[in-house]
Structure formats: C-alpha cells, structure tokens
C-alpha cells in the first residue's frame, strides 16, 4: 500500500486528535476498452501509483468535517441527517454522495473527521473521482469495521457518482481502484463483474502523457454518448450493446442514423479488441497489443468522436518511437485528458524526449508526463 505518511501529522495538527485510520486508494489507467463499461462490456485497466490518501477519526455525533489539503485546507461540514448537494464546493459532493450511499446500506454510521490529500491529476482521465470515492469507503469501512469487499465498495462508490454527483459512469474506475493487483492489468466483465488479472510483461512501463486540455465528464458529452448507445440497444431490444454482435449491427446499417451506427460500432469492436488484448498481454505478444491499441484509438477518434487534435498528435509522435514494440492510445472519457503508452523501458527516455520536443511547439501547452506502475487496489 502507498500511503502519504505526512497526512497523519497534518490531521493531528489540524484536528488536535490522532487519526484512527489512514487509507489509500489508487487512480487507474485503462490500457484498452473505453466507453464499453457502461455498455456492460469489457475493459482492461490497471491501478496506478497515484491516488488519494485519507486520514480519519470517528466522532460521537453525526457531524462530518472534511479538510481538503489540496484546496488550501478548505473545510466542509455537514450532518449525516441532512446531506445536500453543494453548488459551491464540487469536490465535497464526492464525500457527501459516498457517505449517503454508505448510509443506505449502513444507517448507523457515526459522524467523522476526514483529511483528504491526493496526487491524481484532476480532469486528466486517470479517475481521481473514483480514487476519492473508494478511499472514503475504505476509511469508513475500517473505522466502523464494516464487512465490505472490493466489489461492494465499487458499487457504493459508483452509486455516489451516478446518483448524487450526476455523472452516469460505469463500474470500471471504482472496481479497479478497489481490486487491482500489483504488476497486473485487470480484464473486467462489466456485466457480471467477473474479473481476471493478466501480468504486464517485465520490461514495460506505463507512460502517461497529460495533454493538459482539461475537461470535466459531468459537463462534457459523456452522458450524451451513453444515451446514444442506449438508443441503439433499445433499437435491438436488448439491455446493452454488450448483447449486439457486429453482424447484427451491420444488418441495420441502412436503418440506424449514421451517428448512432458509428457509436455502436466502436463499442462492439472495442469489446473484441479488449478481450484480445488480455490474451496478448498474457502471451507477451506486444506486436498484437500494439496493433490493438492503435485500432482502439482510431475507433475512439473516428467512430466515437471523443478524441482531440492534441491527443491524436501525441499518439502519432509516440507511435513513431514505439513502433510495434509498444502501444499507445488515448485513455479515459476523452475530450482532453491523457494518452497511455505501454512502453519498453529502453524507449521511455526517447518517448519523453519526443513529446517534450514536439508537443508544446505544436499546441502551446506543456504536457505532464508520468511513468507509472501497476499497484494494489484499496481492498486487494
């Protein structure tokens, strides 16, 4: 477990009490399988060594006090009996929503003092929100000795983001933050919630490049893309696009609006790519993995239309460095954010140099570059 040791002393200094628990929940990067999770499909993420730390202590009343270290120690207070959405402090809604979701299952919770600190880049597509939510669930579970496993924690966190915060997200981010395994990627079936791990081959690093084009999923076209996918599923009278084959979709090409056809084609083909990518990792077949990641990016760019010129540019210049020895694609919800490059260790420096040499010159933005490794989830 990666824990920010400073948060314990900061908690004690601020609250004048010793924290009873200190927990950590990682962010995640998705190697392949984007916009498939809320279509009951397959994803291949890994938990990463960036995340959220929380120090916490139970109270004897129903007051919740939360201090956000990264927001200049901004404090929010609310009562368990009166949890309301805040229009002025968006970050606190993740706390409010997660605790409300927990109360629906465990109504006898106490009030709590929380101190929160994280290093997942905001709005970059590395799931700072899921990391935050899972850390809150973990802290309250440890404080109150709640019998919560990783899947239950993920469902509680997803409910908070979907029903309280208002982002109609899938389950991937929360589940890998809870259940990821060090050195592995997770193939997750978002319908059954069954998952299996595949080792990331030795000698490969996860290089993540943030375009620093910020976006917030709640305010983007994320929810629209979900509605479009649901419209196609409804056309075929199935629960989700997971249950539609490419042949079925092609048979309705002349009937479906062109934009809906493209959205569904991405999801259906991405599911196949993700399953094949899991096999490629298990077999250490980087040539196939490279091709699948490239095809995924093109599909997200052309069919799902969630990429940006900045993301496309980064993929192009990194791909010239990696060739078929590694893979690169946009990752996350899109509309900005990051690319992920599965990079041989000997090519990391060349990859970084290519990005630093060309990206700012082209777009006037300074990229943020992170070399990551796969870590354990909060409930692993």
pLDDT digits (tens, 9 = 90+) for 303-314: 999 999 999 999
Kindly report the pTM of this predicted structure. Answer: 0.91
The SS3 of residue 67 is strand
Phi-psi region of 73 (alpha: psi -120 to 50; beta: other; left: phi over 0): left
- For 201-372, the fitting CATH number among 3.30.70.890, 1.10.287.610, 3.40.1000.10, 3.30.420.40 is 3.30.70.890
Higher pLDDT, 223 or 328: 328
In this structure, how many other beta carbons lie within 10 angstroms of the beta carbon of residue 214?
A: 13
Query: In this prediction, what percent of the chain has a pLDDT beyond 70?
Result: 96
Task: Please say if the pLDDT value at position 165 is more than 80.
Answer: yes
| Residue 27 pLDDT | 94
Q: How far apart are CA 57 and CA 44, in angstroms?
A: 35
Report d(CA 100, CA 138) in Å as an integer: 14
| DSSP-based three-state secondary structure for 341 | strand
Distance of alpha carbon 358 from alpha carbon 126, whole angstroms: 23
Q: Does domain 6-196 fall into CATH 3.30.450.370?
A: no
pLDDT-derived band of residue 334, with 50, 70 and 90 as boundaries?
A: confident
| Window from 15-29, 129-143, 160-174 with minimum mean pLDDT | 160-174
pLDDT at 245 over 90: yes
CA 198, chain centre distance (Å)? 18
CB burial readout 89-116, b (16+ within 10 A) else e: eebbbbbbbbbbbbeeeeeebbbbbbbb
State how far Cα 305 lies from the chain centre: 19
Residue 346: per-residue pLDDT? 97
To which residue do tokens 């395994």 refer? Answer: 181
Bridge partners of 46?
A: 29
Confidence of residue 133 (pLDDT cuts 50, 70, 90): very high
Helices (H), the chain: 6-15, 90-105, 128-144, 150-159, 172-179, 222-235, 246-251, 258-282, 286-302, 309-322, 348-363
Average of per-residue pLDDT across 134-155: 98
DSSP state of 213: -
pLDDT of residue 123: 62
Q: Could you state, in order of their start, the residue ranges of all structural domains in the chain? A: 6-196, 201-372
Instruction: From the candidates 6, 173, 202, 285, give the one annotated as an active-site residue.
Output: 173
* Residue listed under structure tokens 């109504």: 107
Concerning whether 163 is annotated as a catalytic residue, the answer is no
């Amino acid at each position: 477990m990666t824990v920010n040791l400073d948060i314990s002393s900061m908690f004690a200094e601020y609250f004048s009490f010793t924290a009873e628990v200190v927990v950590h929940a990682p962010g995640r990067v998705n190697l392949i399988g984007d916009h498939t999770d809320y279509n009951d499909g397959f994803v291949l993420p890994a938990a990463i060594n960036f995340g959220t730390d929380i120090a916490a202590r139970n109270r004897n009343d129903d007051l919740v006090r939360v201090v956000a270290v990264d927001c200049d120690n901004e404090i929010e207070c609310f009562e368990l009996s009166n949890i309301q959405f805040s229009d002025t402090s968006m970050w606190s809604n993740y706390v409010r929503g997660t605790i409300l979701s927990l109360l629906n299952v465990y109504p006898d919770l106490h009030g709590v003092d929380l101190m929160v600190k994280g290093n997942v880049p905001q709005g970059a597509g590395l799931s700072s929100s899921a990391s935050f939510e899972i850390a809150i669930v973990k802290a309250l579970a440890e404080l109150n000795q709640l019998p919560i496993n990783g899947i239950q924690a993920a469902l509680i966190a997803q409910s908070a983001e979907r029903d309280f915060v208002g982002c109609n997200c899938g389950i991937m981010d929360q589940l890998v933050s809870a259940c990821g395994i060090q050195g592995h990627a997770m193939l997750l079936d978002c319908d059954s919630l069954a998952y299996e791990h595949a080792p990331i081959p030795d000698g490969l690093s996860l290089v993540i490049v943030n375009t620093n084009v910020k976006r917030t999923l709640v305010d983007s076209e994320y929810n629209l893309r979900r509605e479009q996918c649901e419209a196609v599923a409804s056309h075929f009278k199935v629960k989700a696009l997971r249950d539609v084959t490419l042949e079925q979709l092609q048979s309705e090409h002349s009937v479906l609006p062109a934009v809906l056809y493209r959205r569904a084609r991405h999801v259906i083909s991405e599911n196949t790519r993700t399953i094949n990518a899991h096999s490629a990792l298990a077999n250490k077949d980087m040539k196939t993995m490279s091709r699948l990641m490239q095809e995924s990016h093109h599909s997200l760019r052309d069919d799902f239309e969630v990429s940006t010129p900045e993301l496309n540019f980064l993929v192009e210049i990194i791909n010239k460095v990696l060739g078929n020895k590694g893979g690169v694609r946009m990752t996350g919800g899109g509309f900005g954010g990051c690319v992920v490059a599965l990079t041989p260790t000997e090519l990391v420096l060349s990859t970084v140099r290519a990005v630093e040499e060309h990206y700012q010159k082209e777009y006037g933005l300074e990229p943020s570059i992170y070399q990551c490794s796969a870590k354990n989830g909060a409930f692993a």
